[in-house]
Chain A
Amino acid sequence: MTVLLVSVGGAGGAVLRYLIDRRVQRSHDSAFPWGTLTVNVLGSALLGLLAGWALTGAEPGALHTLLGTGLCGALTTFSTFGYETVRLLTERARLYAVANVAVTVLAGFGAAATGLLIASALPG
């Protein structure tokens, strides 16, 4: 059952990442990887919400496997984030590379914290 939930969530998350990344990147004519930033922040916020919900003891474990491990895990990515940062570095867009790391990490942590706080503030 767990294997099925992780696979379905992972498949959905990966497709969602591709579609969101395409849409965001198309509307920004920039070398900055806005698409990857968007999915990473979105996924961190969603996982933060789930984690906050779990702290109240109300969240079912199956939902966390499907949405947390599967969907959020595949929606967000470290490999593309790393590759795009290195590509910016080698293309001599050093400022963009440093900004990409700083903004992704800070926005990711901020989004997760916001999700956690919102979920724990909701009546369980």
Chain B
Amino acid sequence: MPRRHHPRWDILLAIAAGGALGSLARYGLAVVFPHPRGAFATSTLLANLAGCLLIGCLMVTITDLAQPHRLLRPFLGIGLLGGFTTFSTYVLDSADSVLAGRPGLALLYAAVSVLGSLGLVVTGMLGTRALLRLVTARRRRST
């Protein structure tokens, strides 16, 4: 296999650091908003919704930057937001609600997570794009 396929160590380090920080932040939310097994998992939902809003902002910012630092996306996108949001806990939280005899709650939680997340990615992207356009227009006017 050609050598260039091997990922660089600094990229892996940036991803690891971001993943550790993101996971800790998600754990912190779970401590602040605890929920009994089978109940509505507010902390997981909050992490996933906030993470989706932020990835929308991040991806637009990165595409708009003339020369984004090459560790910016691995650290923030793959590491931090990837570690902050979680799919496995979302699935198990829903399964717990079913096991606790609350399939309606599971369905509501599952649907709100997916639809809310998609909506917030779009919101993050559109909002950031509008903000960047505003800043550029203002800068152009002042020069």
Residues on A lying within 8 angstroms of B by beta carbon are 2-3, 6-15, 17-19, 22, 26, 40, 43-44, 46-48, 51, 68-70, 72-83, 85-86, 101, 104-105, 108-109, 111-113, 116
Contact = CB atoms under 8 A, between A and B. Distances in A.
A47 to B, nearest CB: 4
A48 B110 CA distance: 16
A18 B74 contact: yes
Contacts, number: 175
Interface residues of B, number: 53
A6 B95 contact: no
Given A10-B83, A17-B78, A83-B121, A73 B91 contact: no
B41 interface: no
Contacts of B52: 78-79, 82-83
Contacts of A7: 20-21, 23-24
Contact of B24 (A6, A22, A105): A6
A46 B89 CA distance: 11
Nearest to B82: A77
B121 A86 contact: yes
A51 B79 CA distance: 25
Given A13-B23, A44-B88, A74 B83 contact: yes
Indicate the member of A2, A76, A79, A81 with the most B CB atoms within 10 Å.
A79
B27 A2 contact: yes
A103 B23 CA distance: 25
